[in-house]
Amino acid sequence: MSTLTLGAYKRRFSDTAWYPYALVAPALLVLVLVSLVPFCYAAWLSFHSVEYGQVGEWNGWDNYLKLIQNDRFWNSLSVAGIFMLIAVPLEFLLGLGGALVLNQRVWGRSAWLPLLFIPSMMAPIVVGLLWKIMLAGSWGLLSHNVIERFGMLPGTSIFASSDHALIALALVDVWQWTPFMMLAFFAGRQALPMSPYRAAAVDGANAFQTFFRLTLPLLTPLLVVIGMLRFIDAFKIFDSIFILTSGGPGVSTESPSILAYKMTFEQWRIGESAALAVLVWLAFFVLCNVFFQVAKKRLNAF
């Protein structure tokens, strides 16, 4: 096939209805292989009796009934819910506030802006080990100089307190992901058109009016998407909890991901852990669809 013929063939193929599908086909194939196939297998396992890795007979909804009757399952959902309600709103507010500050052309912004990526670029195990050292017992940097000095938790680690461990984990997540939120919102703010702001300045709008009448509505699609992704990611939290508390003390920081790990690799209750994965997926599928519809109809975000 000559070069001219090949070029003509490419142009003819790019005009067909199949061309967009051909472009996304490799990504879809990878998603099917690494996501859909394992999920379907987990759903199949959830309806079977699985003993020590050996798939037994079909047992219907027994795994789901056992899971629903398990208090640790409901406790893990409450742990994930509390974690999300603490971490994500703080990350959202601090990130949005930081983005507005960065937009004011602060001194040295181009020099230290890349440094904000460091917490989000760090591997989760590094973040966990760092904060385990910072808050360790009576000799950690923060636990010794701040927590013990002010008599908050003398003689123990904050991660050993069932009342404070989950809050500490949420603040670690805030430390790691607030810079990401800040930079995402800052990039969105920089991409907004300037003509509405010039018109608002001519009309005499103050900073608060400009923010609530222009910036916030224009940023709504980005805020909705980033917020939804962070809520999903926070619910699935595993790394930091596994490294810092392993779900303890007791089950006070046991998230659904930690519970599924223990059920699979410590208790060998693979059928129930598969049922847990399916239930969590279904819950998020419904919630994300509701969230999408509300954001689309009420906020005009999509």
Give the residue extent of every domain in the chain: 3-45, 69-297
Quote the pTM value. 0.86
Of the candidates 264, 189, 180, 279, the residue with the CA atom closest to the CA atom of residue 226: 180
Tokens standing for residue 49: 């009796």
Asked, as a colleague might, if the bond just before 119 is cis with ω within 30 of 0, I would say no
The pLDDT value given to residue 267: 86
The pLDDT value given to residue 1: 45
Residue 125 contacts residue 243 (beta carbons within 8 Å): yes
**Please, what is the angle between helix 124-134 and helix 165-190, to 10°?**
130
The pLDDT value given to residue 43: 92
What string of pLDDT tens digits covers the 302 residues of the chain? Answer: 444 465 555 566 566 677 778 888 888 899 888 888 889 999 999 999 887 778 888 998 999 999 999 999 999 999 999 999 999 999 999 999 989 888 887 777 777 778 888 888 888 888 988 998 888 766 777 776 666 666 666 666 788 888 889 999 999 999 999 999 999 999 999 888 889 888 988 888 888 889 988 999 889 888 888 988 898 899 989 999 999 999 989 999 999 999 999 999 888 889 999 999 999 988 888 888 888 888 777 766 66
Considering the domain 69-297, what is its CATH architecture? Answer: Orthogonal Bundle (1.10)
Q: Token pair 């893990």 is at which residue? A: 76
The pLDDT value given to residue 287: 82
The pLDDT value given to residue 161: 82
The pLDDT value given to residue 85: 93
